[in-house]
Amino acid sequence: MQCGQTVALFRLELPVRWRDLDAYDHVNNSQFLSYIEEARIQWFGSLPGPWRDAAAEPILAAAQINFRRPITYPATLVIELQTARIGTTSITVNHTIVDASDADTLYSDGNSVIVWVSPQSGRPVPLPEVVRQAAERGL
Amino acid sequence: MQCGQTVALFRLELPVRWRDLDAYDHVNNSQFLSYIEEARIQWFGSLPGPWRDAAAEPILAAAQINFRRPITYPATLVIELQTARIGTTSITVNHTIVDASDADTLYSDGNSVIVWVSPQSGRPVPLPEVVRQAAERGL
Amino acid sequence: MQCGQTVALFRLELPVRWRDLDAYDHVNNSQFLSYIEEARIQWFGSLPGPWRDAAAEPILAAAQINFRRPITYPATLVIELQTARIGTTSITVNHTIVDASDADTLYSDGNSVIVWVSPQSGRPVPLPEVVRQAAERGL
Amino acid sequence: MQCGQTVALFRLELPVRWRDLDAYDHVNNSQFLSYIEEARIQWFGSLPGPWRDAAAEPILAAAQINFRRPITYPATLVIELQTARIGTTSITVNHTIVDASDADTLYSDGNSVIVWVSPQSGRPVPLPEVVRQAAERGL
């Protein structure tokens, strides 16, 4: 968006469904997290190696999200992920949601912290190498 | 939670539904926003006067949410709202989600910014008086 | 409802959530299946023995549902399950959704066919004994 | 599917979202109704005239749905609507859900009854002419 020089980690084009609306006739706020989740999971699925295994799985630790303008139906969205920060056991991802027919129509921006944890202990574990490398290319 | 002296704006007891789970067998992250929305709307509904009319309606402008531990099924939750800040056209509300059977089990905390806007222009308008008074009692 | 002499397999009282509404300001049709699912899963959970194991798990094979009148918010519902038919590998369950404050307000009725299958082969397997016994008491 | 000579009222290609899954790692049964609803609403939107106005709006009166096989993620679906019956105030629509990459993979079939009613009285009113004509072409 604002800075053309950043590199997207992942871009997903996604059609809004009518059921995403709520009684105010706008896409419900909780749905924004589902859109971002769909981009995140498709990004993981696009990586050239395992992003989860028996010893490490990603969990969403925190999310901050700004609702910039209401999304109406019908619409096609573009959800874009960018690397904000790479830690030892976590990454922070910036995300924007814009309109597919007009990238200047910013519906939402924000960021999410994803931590890899041991499914057994729930304790943080080092980032999978394939995730770290992809995130570094997105810096 | 931490500070027994704070006053809750609103407390909602809510049963988790099985459909709130996702394929990881935990309540999905987007559902947390729906739980908080349910508490917010029931709080509005409990006010002794109009909290929206033809000239002013609330919209969610931003949310920050920490996912402290996974919620499994079955469970009954308590969602609690507290006043964080009162502005001219908006309020910021802190929210916690704990287990109804054990208030020390903190599933989530965070805050949300709610702005009153004109449905016509989309521009911010002053808080309804009934909202301001309720929020002040919660300070 | 109509016939006071039938025995309920299970009754669930469930509050409607605001997010269950769609842009028509009524509970969305898909949500009715989630309400019935919640009653079914709580019924299974109430049985005095295993209703699924490594060799047999229930799947929904078919559902028929009538939408008798719109559900608005707020409301508390009662979902009631009754045995319609017991087969070798499946049961058919009748379900009604009424208003908790007025059992004559029928929102929906219909029925669902639940088949127990082998998770490995996907082929039907005999009903668990605990399910058969509970369903027979509901006849 | 089986009969190549039938004419589709509408065909929608729709990507499954990860959030459509439930804790059994399959698309949840309620989601099937949302898929069919999305096709129905896009069909209405494609009509060359008004399908609802101040005097007549469509409501879903009944649905019958068979769950033929589980839908896993990722997948792209094709939802197809066909005219089953045209009444004075209602239409019955057959619907199938197949895999976009293999039309022989039938996930679901069934039918829905849609009635046009007066928003004021809730009583049935004649089908909008644009709906009748479209449905007749689909016979």
Q: What is the ipTM of this complex?
A: 0.94
User: pLDDT tens across B59-115, in order?
Assistant: 999 999 999 999 999 999 999 999 999 999 999 999 999 999 999 999 999 999 999
Tokens 């069934």 appear where?
D110
Q: Quote the pLDDT of residue C2.
A: 44
Place of tokens 């949300």: B112
Two tokens, residue D100: 């976009």
Our CA angle for B100, B102, B106, nearest 5°, is 90
Residue by residue, what is the 3-state secondary structure of chain D?
A: CCCCCCCCCEEEEEECCHHHECCCCCECHHHHHHHHHHHHHHHHHHCCCCCCECCEEEEEEEEEEEECCCCCCCCEEEEEEEEEEECCCEEEEEEEEEECCEEEEEEEEEEEEEEEECCCCCCECCCCHHHHHHHHHCC
How far is C-alpha D26 from the geometric centre of its chain's CA atoms?
21
User: Would you call the peptide bond into C50 cis, given omega within 30 degrees of 0 as the criterion?
Assistant: no
Instruction: Tell me which chain B residues have a C-beta less than 8 angstroms from the C-beta of A62.
Output: 64-67, 110
Summarize pLDDT for A54-107 with one digit per residue, the tens: 999 999 999 999 999 999 999 999 999 999 999 999 999 999 999 999 999 999
| pLDDT range class, residue D86, cuts 50, 70, 90 | very high
pLDDT band, very low/low/confident/very high, at B5 (cuts 50, 70, 90): low
Instruction: Indicate whether D46 pLDDT > 50.
Output: yes
Q: For an interface test with D, which of C22, C30, C113 has the most D Cβ atoms less than 10 Å from its Cβ?
A: C30
- What pLDDT score was predicted for residue D139? 79
Q: What is the mean pLDDT of residues D93-105?
A: 97
- Residue of B14, B32, B38, B73 to mutate, interface with C, max C Cβ within 10 Å: B38
Name residue A112's beta-bridge partners.
Answer: A63, A93
pLDDT of residue C5: 53
The per-residue pLDDT for D5 is: 53
Q: Residue D94: which residues within 8 A CB-CB, separation 6 or more? A: D81, D82, D83, D84, D109, D110, D111
Least Cα distance to A8 among A70, A117, A115, A98 occurs for: A98
At residue B124, does pLDDT exceed 60? yes
CA gap B89, D117 in Å, rounded: 41
Q: Average the pLDDT over C117-134 and give the result.
A: 95
Average pLDDT, chain B: 94
Contact assignment for B62 to A62 by CB distance below 8 Å: no
Q: Residue D59 is encoded by which pair of tokens?
A: 């409501």
Check whether B2 has a pLDDT greater than 80. Answer: no
**pLDDT for B44 beyond 50:** yes
The pairing of strands A10-15 and B10-15 is unpaired
Helix axes C29-46, D29-46, angle to 10 degrees: 180
Q: Give mean pLDDT, residues B115-124.
A: 94
D120 to chain C, closest Cα gap in Å: 13
What pLDDT does B1 receive?
41
pLDDT of amino acid C88: 97
Beta-bridge mates of residue B85 = B92
pLDDT digits (tens, 9 = 90+) for C37-92: 999 999 999 999 999 999 999 999 999 999 999 999 999 999 999 999 999 999 99
Distances (CA, A) of D62 to A26, D90, D112, D114, D138: 26, 11, 6, 7, 20
In the predicted model, what is the mean pLDDT of chain D?
94
- In this complex, the residue of C28, C29, C33 whose CB is nearest that of residue D29 is C33
Q: In this model, does residue D43 exceed pLDDT 50?
A: yes
CB–CB contact A23 C28 (8 Å): no
Give the model's pLDDT for residue A7.
79
- Would you say the pTM of this structure is higher than 0.90? yes
CA B124 to chain CA centroid, nearest Å? 20
Contact D62 C65 (CB under 8 A): yes
Instruction: Give D-chain residues touching B18 at CB under 8 angstroms.
Output: 22-23
Stretch D41-63: mean pLDDT: 95
Q: Answer whether residue C4 shows pLDDT above 80.
A: no
What is the C-alpha separation between A113 and B66, in angstroms, rounded?
A: 9
Q: What is the mean pLDDT of residues C2-23?
A: 86
